[in-house]
Amino acid sequence: MPLELFSLIIDDYDAAIAFFNETLGFELAEDAPSLTTDGRPKRWVVVRPADGGAGLVLARADGPEQVAAIGNQFAGRVGLFLRVRDFDATLARLGDAGCELVRPVREEPYGRVCVFRDPWGNQWDLLGDPTG
């Protein structure tokens, strides 16, 4: 039973779509008008890794509690793990997008890894294949 979707709280749909598509190489799977549970307009936006896997629902913060959670959904921990085929190219795109490198690139038995902070403040592990 695969995990299908999970939500990531953001402040701007279009900026988030651009980051995930242009910087991380995700695909826009859905972008449709929708309604909040109390009937206000919103968008249903889903991005997915180009080669499959669980999708992210890009959920624009609604109200002070959600705004306060932007960038801190994982209580300051790494909460997202992205394995990529071209580690160096992805790392370069992250730098071009202004993402902060929280922990430098290092080699681990499971591959190259570094921690970066996305534009909203969430920490990610960027994972590549082992070298050598």
Bridge partners of 112?
Answer: 107
What residues pair up with 5 in beta bridges, in sequence order? 55
pTM: 0.93
What amino acid occupies position 112? R
Can you identify the CATH homologous superfamily of domain 1-70?
A: 2,3-Dihydroxybiphenyl 1,2-Dioxygenase, domain 1 (3.10.180.10)
What is the Cα–Cα distance from 122 to 31, expressed in whole angstroms? Answer: 22
The CATH number for 73-132, chosen from 2.40.128.260, 3.10.290.10, 3.10.180.10, 3.40.50.150, is 3.10.180.10
Complete edge-to-edge strand list for the sheet that includes strand 111-117: 78-83, 123-127, 111-117, 100-108
Kindly report, residue by residue over 89-130, the tens digit of the pLDDT. Answer: 999 999 999 999 999 999 999 999 999 999 999 999 999 998
